[in-house]
Chains A and B, each alone.
Chain A
Amino acid sequence: MRIRAQVAMVMNLDKCIGCHTCSVTCKQTWTNREGTEYVWFNNVETKPGIGYPKHYEDQDRWKGGWILDRKGRLTLRSGGRAKRLSRIFANPDLPSIDDYYEPATFDKDLLVSAPAGLTDTPVKRPRSALTGEPMAITWGANWEDSLGGQSGQDDPSLARMATKVKLEFEKTFMFHLPRICEHCLNPACVSACPSGAMYKRAEDGIVLVDQDRCRGWRMCVSACPYKKVYVNHATGKAEKCTLCFPRIEAGLPTICAETCVGRLRYLGIVLYDEDAVLAAASVPDPQDLLDAQRAVFLDPRDPGVERAARDAGMPDEWIEAAKLSPIRKLISEYRIALPLHPEYRTLPMVWYVPPLSPVLDAAGAAGRDDADADDVFHTIRDLRIPVEYLAELFTAGDTEAVAGVLMKLAAMRSYMRSRTLDGTVAQDLLDRIGMTAEQVEAMYRLLAVAKYDERYVIPAAHAKDAAALDAQAAGHDGCALDCEGGPGMSDPFHLSARP
């Protein structure tokens, strides 16, 4: 057993209001600069939808993530090392700027400086932020917001469902999916990097791109099935979500988490066995990946684990934080958080609580038991979001696993309704979901009351580590490639070749 700690995140999609504040605060802090105009380390998608970049979940097209080879061994979908190197100068599995979107800016200073005698009021027209040329805006970072457009019909997860769903008014459903880098336990991007520039930090699992070492091959972009590594088109280098490591090191939550208005993000430590990762990522049946990944996680309340952690040199503060970790509770104890697309086999470390939704057929449901006005909730089988659809996102198609989570959320609500209105304990509900009253009430507190210090349990970097990190920060002196238009790395989107 090789014990390690990872700072992980859970997002409760059932609380996400789709406001995109996370995207804005992240972008304002990290990527509002030349070269990263189109880059959103954090973005929020409306589901169903094809996402950002377009169809990123379609790995037949993009070849992201891992597969098992014929011998059952884990291998990058984009091929072995030799194959990847052969394509190093012409990678066909790379999204173009149009797959993201061409960022727009608008005429500068035209309103104030407009000359006299115009026939009409002045107006600012869109121009490409990349070329400065006038442009028509035809796609965006969030084009499908709140089901805008009809591209949602092409959502790969819908296509995979056995039950065909037509997107129409009467059957409308939607939810929002905020996404950052998954900081995977088995990151495909890291493995695909020919330069060794990408790495997963040993102490907290954060996946980073060493800007000094990056040579701009962009294999990471292809390999990441979540398309969360981007090319800075000014430097030619890869950039990605850093999990706000300068804040995490100081014990502060990431910006996307702290500014999350829906209060749906949780951050905390997960302990895991590094030696078990490969086997977990290699289980044959994709539907077993969820349990396999859970099995990699270690319970810090287990004295054996605690001892092992201490022996491995983990600071006490981190071990205590792991015990209090909301991530551990949501993933392992209450088991209501699920990984996004476990079938990519990267063992992602940003997990999600799937959303409830309104009843689908209100008229039909209205006819159920009109006599009992106290029976106010619907069964989870009646909800609008097809369980099959959620299963395509979170359980490699295992509908029972998703239904089990929704059942817990629904039972918690019914249980708490009795507690709130009558002060009674609905034992039958507890029995149905196999939880104790204490567990359900603790889960309720974590999801509903959700105090700041319960959402974010982040130990500061251990003092000596922090000093080391500071020392690292001080000595930086630039690199040959990170200047604007560095050698061979300019124009990664071939904008100059466009008509």
Chain B
Amino acid sequence: MRETVGDRGRTLHQYDGAWDAFYRDRWRYDKVVRSTHGVNCTGSCSWNVFVKDGLITWEHQATDYPTTGPDSPDYEPRGCPRGASFSWYEYSPSRVRHSYVRGVLAEMFREARQRLGDPVLAWAEIVETPLKSQAYKSQRGRGGFVRASWDEAIEMIAAAHVYTTKTYGPDRVVGFSPIPAMSMASFAAGTRYHALLGGTLLSFYDWYADLPVASPQIWGDQTDVPEAGDWWNATYLMMWGSNIPVTRTPDAHFLAEARYRGTKVVAISPDYADNVKFADDWLAPHPGTDGALAMAMGHVVLTEFFRDRPVPYFLDYVRKYTDLPFLVTLRNTGDAWAADRFLTAADLGEANGEHKTVLLDAATGEPVVPNGSLGFRYADDGEGRWNLDLGDVVPVVGLDPAGETVEVDLARFDTGETEGGTTIRRGVPIRWIAGHPVTTVFDLVMAQYGVRRGDLPGEWPAGYDDADAPNTPAWQEKITGVPAALAARIGRELARNAERSHGRSMIVLGAGANQWFHSDMTYRALISLVTLTGCQGVNGGGWAHYVGQEKARPVTGQQHLSFAFDWQRPMRHQAATPFWYLHTDQWRYERVPADELSSPLGTGRFAGMAFADTVAAAQRMGWTPGHPFFNRNPLDLTDEAAAAGRPVAEHIVAELRAGRLGAVADDPDDPANFPRCLTLWRANLLGSSGKGNEYFMRHLLGVEGSATAAECEPAQRPRDVAWRDEAPVGKLDLLTAIDFRMTNTGLHADVVLPAATWYEKNDISTTDMHPFVHAFSPAVEPPGDAHTDYDTFLALADKVSELAVDHLGVRRDVLAVPLQHDTPDELATPSGRVRDWRDGECELIPGRTMPKLIEMERDYTLLGAKMRTVGPLLDKLGTTTKAITVDVGPEIEYLKHRNGVIDGRPSLATAIGMCEAILALSGTTNGRVARAGFAALEKRTGQPFTDLIAGHEDDRITYAQTQDAPQPVFTSPEWSGSEKGGRRYSPFTLNVERLKPWHTITGRQHFFVEHDWVAELGEQLPAFRPPLNMARHFGKPGDAVDGGVTVRFLTPHAKWSVHSMYHDNELMLALSRGGPVIWMSVPDAAKIGVRDNDWIEAHNRNGVVVARAVVSHRMPEGTVFQYHSPERTVNVPKAEKSKRRGGYHNSMTRLLVKPTHLAGGHAQLTYAFNYYGPIGSQRDEITVIRRRTQEVEY
């Protein structure tokens, strides 16, 4: 039937032909499978994968998240264009379907293996014969892969690991894989393998510069943030360096929607980023100056809401929950004073009082030792008293400024000849207690921010418009370019909103503010705003850091099984930044001496030291890990001790004292100290995250990179760390890449193993962005030889066990491990007073002045068997997370029934079994475990907690449920917030509502950080530290080049990729510009005659990038962006400058190590994996950009 209506050419008709079957057929499918995308992305979105005729056709977001309730937006449909295009990889040309080995290596190995009859001997011959090892190392990245069978590739890797373990030590076998939360079983497979082998596992959170070091400093907590749904509860929402629509795409709608509820939104971003469109106000500080803006806002808050009109809500909050009332001793600096350390009960004469901090009772004016400080956390007499209950005590916040005063010197970094800045002198009121002049943290903070009370002496600002006095609005305008009145108004609005709403002002913090060398100081200034105003621990308020953060919600099971704590404790966890700084020889190019950073307030303790020296010192004092630690095979060390007839620890101490045994960090270029095998899975280290990429190429791989930096002059060389005139190249014997796509890492690997994609495996995923745990499920079988990560590492472990029969057998290993956070190790260094045994300042005492020395047996023939079962140590020791120990006997029994048994132990033979075990052992997914943990916490704190799990004590989440739909987790002592009753998760609500201390020296949130190394850098109090002055340290990169413009080189996250993933995906390439680009401002482009889409080159001493220019008026002058991270394998021509393949954004970077991030041994400044450690920052860098010839060669 055909019906036509209307006239003059207007038609409306219905046609009954069957033509539309094409579209109907296209929409038809056979099945839908729930899965998600693992690793790197913190989205953790649940997806429906559609399968037709055995092929994956497309994916759409799941929409079946449990509701947030009738009056708030739901989580559906979480996702983004990257995830929506993932299925492209399934059948893409860059899919790795088979095992590959570089041809020259394969030939040599096959020949030697045939001849010698033993793969381990074959490997030994190749790597120990210089001509042979040179032959394959020199071909890295230069093509020539040949197919190997799965078994052959596995055998080669196993042989290398066995040989390295036997010859150099298991700690020379290194593994790296980031972000467990978004595919826990896949992560656990490889980490468990390395743990059982004795290998070294590298951290990622600090290495990525995603770790907000301020979080451990302030809260003693790695990172804990609100779920996205809690943005809805904010009534004032600032986005500070966080481009939410691009980097938190699945949840950006909560931001848009909260505005309709009346929430004011402020965007702070140097460019007109995608998120700015949602703001009411846009503040565009110059990159890296965020700390100045925050300090000025803090100045306004302290002036107007504490001094001029003290707000009861704020005062009450800071009394209970911050260190502001606590007393700090002052030290005499000659003609003035400086802040020193917290006054402790020991000063008052109390036994074991070194870790109990002191405040003044307003009623009596006398010092009081309140509950909740570190001294109550582990001590027997602290049971029931580790809490924030102040009883009748009302702490004094700020001494009487009309009383006795002294002048203190305070650090400022915006002036002076060095990075260390100068000081400013301002008065604080004091009291004398136990012979010490003391003041409160509050008084110091008021002085630091420049808020004068009464007639306090010293240099004070004349007012907000005093541009010379640090921390005023006018002062920040000079630095940031943000109008003073605007900065003041936003600070005022934030505080006023917090006052009206009792804490519902939130600051979303992002990489734009975080990934700088001095990120911790910037963050402390930012976080102070929401701590002063009582927003932390309040739904809708506080900090919200979303930078590579992740949250393995079932953290207890995830950690204990990933790190094989069911068999042995601990494993070799290594902070990656100092590891790579040393082992890729980036330290050899260092031009910034360590004491360049020292404040005049310091005592000169870094004089003559290089950053490499600070790494070595922090490792030997047991603050930060140094795996591999000894310059000998640790397996041999235990044999030596046995031969000498003395305990291993005693032997090691004696050998160290005698100087016969050394540390790897003392001589990283000694071939005995090289990392030998590196296995990367779920990671693209050499194409995405490897800061100082060209140094990785040269020194680790033996590939000539495009760095042109000269090595440091003799005067700049380390004081302690040995300098070898010839820098080693090609340190690594074996680089293994396990991936489903061919990346820049794969191209440089010796062996590439084909991996299953996320649509081909079982696993589980969680995030902090939402409160659910949900599943990966296989939609199709992995193609070719591809295996899941889980099965790959089982195969590898089996092969190692087999080869171990002849080559390793049972050995004893000794681990040098640093003082650990959330353990009594926090008590090792009272007040953070540093003593270095090497300088004779103290004895060598393992676990106190040096690393703990822990011996353990390794039966290498059982590696595969141990991978496959839950070990017996859990039955004996239970699980321990954040110092809470839970007996998991019932869970072991449950798992025997659920997973089946192997040799009487619960099976972990499959990824599903691993998922079940993770879920069973964790409080967030097993109500019984949560309850047991809360009961333990009740005992220590004397506060009620078990009611938080009421109604869920008998509930547990199983893997099958996570496949059915996203499952909401339970409230658990593993975290600091509550989900009870469907509440949105906000961190620290348990601290605030249940008076649970933070894991810090005072038990409160810190403004004042005590440690000698922190004091040396002048960073005890929040302050603005500007970006490093790279032009001064390294010379302006453009000076020698005609026609270039020197600019800051920033690497924010992209819309079209998640790291380098998706940057090779043709859908994402089609929607962007099909290859690497650098965004520039219109004036910068004009300076060098560049038009949109011209080819340009960026170069500095570290390397060269070739890209096309995106010229945009959105960009501020003086700054360029290369979004993190273009994939070097797509549309990257050769550089004119180096004649080599153009680099990616990390070709422009080189590591610098901030010594305060190594500081340890004391309270919240103790080590834990991904909790504390130097960040691999990359934002302080500058580059020259120039137009190049438009003829490009590939």
Instruction: Identify the A interface with B (CB < 8 A).
Output: 2, 14-15, 17-21, 23-25, 27-30, 32, 73-76, 81, 103-126, 137-138, 140-143, 145-151, 167-169, 172-175, 186, 190-192, 196, 199-203, 208, 210-213, 242, 244-247, 255, 258-264, 274, 277-278, 355-359, 362-363, 365-367, 370, 373-374, 376-378, 409, 412-422, 444, 447-452, 468, 472-477, 479
Contact = CB atoms under 8 A, between A and B. Distances in A.
Interface in B498-523: 500-501
Interface string B452-486: 00000000000000000000000000000001011
B1114 A199 contact: no
A373 B492 contact: yes
Contacts of A452: 63, 74, 76
Given A75-B9, A123-B1194, A259-B79, 4 more contacts: A106-B1131, A147-B1113, A192-B9, A452-B74
Contact of A202 (B14, B256, B493, B1067): B14
B150 interface: no
30 contacts: A19-B80, A27-B1067, A29-B57, A76-B9, A121-B1141, A126-B1075, A126-B1131, A175-B277, A200-B13, A201-B14, A202-B14, A210-B19, A213-B15, A261-B61, A261-B253, A262-B252, A263-B73, A355-B277, A358-B279, A362-B282, A365-B486, A373-B496, A413-B259, A413-B260, A420-B235, A420-B262, A421-B235, A421-B501, A473-B24, A474-B21
Given A24-B1071, A213-B19, A169 B1115 contact: yes
Interface in B651-670: none
B84 A24 contact: yes
B1113 A169 contact: yes
Contacts of A357: 277
B955 interface: no
- Most B C-beta atoms less than 10 A away, residue of A121, A258, A422, A476: A121
- Most A C-beta atoms less than 10 A away, residue of B70, B501, B1110: B1110
A104 B1071 contact: no
Nearest to B1085: A150
B436 interface: no
- Most A C-beta atoms less than 10 A away, residue of B59, B61, B72, B280: B280
A421 B500 contact: yes
B664 to A, nearest CB: 30
B936 interface: no
B107 to A, nearest CB: 11
A28 B1067 contact: yes
Contact of B139 (A116, A245, A264, A476): A116
B10 A106 contact: no
Interface residues of B, number: 136
A88 to B, nearest CB: 16
The 10 A-B residue pairs with the shortest CB-CB distance, nearest first, are A116-B144, A417-B262, A114-B143, A17-B245, A476-B21, A373-B496, A476-B18, A448-B260, A28-B58, A137-B1074
Nearest to B496: A373
A414 to B, nearest CB: 7
Interface in B1099-1146: 1110-1117, 1128-1134, 1140-1141
B19 A259 contact: no
A413 B14 contact: no
A168 B282 CA distance: 15
B73 A448 contact: yes
B73 A362 contact: no
Nearest to A443: B260
A472 B78 contact: no
Interface stretch (B438-446, B607-615, B710-718, B741-749): B741-749
B26 interface: yes
A106 B1070 CA distance: 11
Contacts of B20: 208, 210-211, 242, 245, 472-473, 476
Contact of A278 (B6, B139, B1112): B6
Contacts of B260: 409, 412-413, 416, 444, 447-448
Given A147-B1112, A200-B11, A111 B1131 contact: no
Given A106-B1131, A121-B1141, A413-B262, A147 B1114 contact: yes
Nearest to A444: B260
B12 A200 contact: yes
Contact of B144 (A76, A115, A124): A115
A477 B18 contact: yes
Contact of B742 (A112, A126, A208, A258): A112
Contacts of B141: 120-121
Interface of B: 3, 5-24, 26-27, 57-61, 63, 70-74, 76-81, 84-85, 87, 93-94, 96, 100, 102-104, 139, 141-145, 235-236, 244-246, 249-250, 252-253, 256-264, 267, 272-274, 276-277, 279-283, 483, 485-486, 488-489, 492-493, 495-497, 500-501, 742, 744, 746-748, 1055, 1064, 1066-1067, 1069-1075, 1079, 1081-1082, 1092-1093, 1110-1117, 1128-1134, 1140-1141, 1194
- Most B C-beta atoms less than 10 A away, residue of A148, A199, A415: A148
A21 B43 CA distance: 14
A238 to B, nearest CB: 12
A449 B74 CA distance: 8
A125 B1194 CA distance: 7
Contacts of A108: 93
B257 A15 contact: yes
Contact of A115 (B72, B143, B274, B742): B143
A259 B84 contact: yes
A150 B1092 contact: yes
Contact of A111 (B14, B61, B493, B742): B742
Given A373-B493, A448-B260, A119 B142 contact: yes
A24 B81 contact: yes
A148 B61 CA distance: 28
A378 B280 contact: yes
B77 A260 contact: yes
Nearest to B305: A373
Nearest to A249: B24
Contacts of A474: 18, 21
A18 B274 contact: yes
B200 to A, nearest CB: 27
Contacts of A358: 267, 276-277, 279-282
A365 B486 CA distance: 8
A263 B249 CA distance: 11
Contact of A19 (B263, B1055, B1064, B1069): B1055
Contacts of B497: 373, 376
Given A124-B1130, A246-B27, A116 B264 contact: no
A261 B143 contact: no
B252 A17 contact: yes
A277 B501 CA distance: 51
Nearest to A211: B19
